Amino acid sequence: MNSTIKQISLAFLLSAFVTAPSISLVQAAPSDTPSPPASDTKSQPKDKKKKDDRKSSIDSPAFLQGYRAAYATIYERSQYAAAIEQFKALGQDDRADVANLIGYSYRKLGNYELASVWYERALKADPNHVRTWQYYGLWQVEQGNREQAKHHLARIEALAGRDSAEYQSLASALTTGRTSY
């Protein structure tokens, strides 16, 4: 009798797992590795290349180490002011990934005006930067600009599709009015 109850309990538990809806990680954390720049340096004038060569590049271990340290300052320690300084010290604040996370940090500090400036800077650097469209869309939700947030959502859909974490995050924020990023 005791083993029958155990078997029935186990069967019930297993069926609950099988029939339960799958859980998706809609709020998956962004990557701590920056994406390549939107423009190719081959198309730049020779004097521009020399200036850029002096800066840290995405392939530079120093840049990657600094980027990852600033990233951890945001996502592991929530020290947004410190992260802004770390990102600016990289000398790459015209890169979409860097400008976006500076904007994100300003947004988290409640400085929506500067956040907007940095999101715009990120989109100027790379108009197809999905994470910026997401974070700027979340900014729009927080500001009560639902129509603009829907525009950002449509842009994400065109770039990454409805199954992307960025789309799901902004769609959820539009539905609930709450942002987690």
What is the model's pLDDT at position 179?
A: 87
Is there a domain that residue 76 lies in? yes
* Tally of domains within the chain: 2
Q: What is the pLDDT of residues 9-59, one digit of tens each?
A: 444 443 443 333 333 333 445 677 787 666 543 334 444 444 444 344 667
Helix H segments across the chain? 2-19, 46-54, 61-75, 80-89, 96-108, 112-125, 130-142, 146-160, 165-176
Is there a domain that residue 22 lies in? no
* Cα separation, 105 vs 74, whole angstroms: 7
Q: Can you read off the two tokens belonging to residue 176?
A: 């609930």
The residue segments making up the domain with residue 134 are: 128-181
Residue 38 near residue 96 (C-beta atoms within 8 A): yes
What is the model's pLDDT at position 54?
A: 38
Reported pTM: 0.74
Is there a domain that residue 40 lies in? no
Is there a domain that residue 16 lies in? no
Is there a domain that residue 158 lies in? yes
Residues in the chain with pLDDT values less than 50: 9-28, 40-56
Is there a domain that residue 5 lies in? no
Pair (132, 104) in one structural domain: no
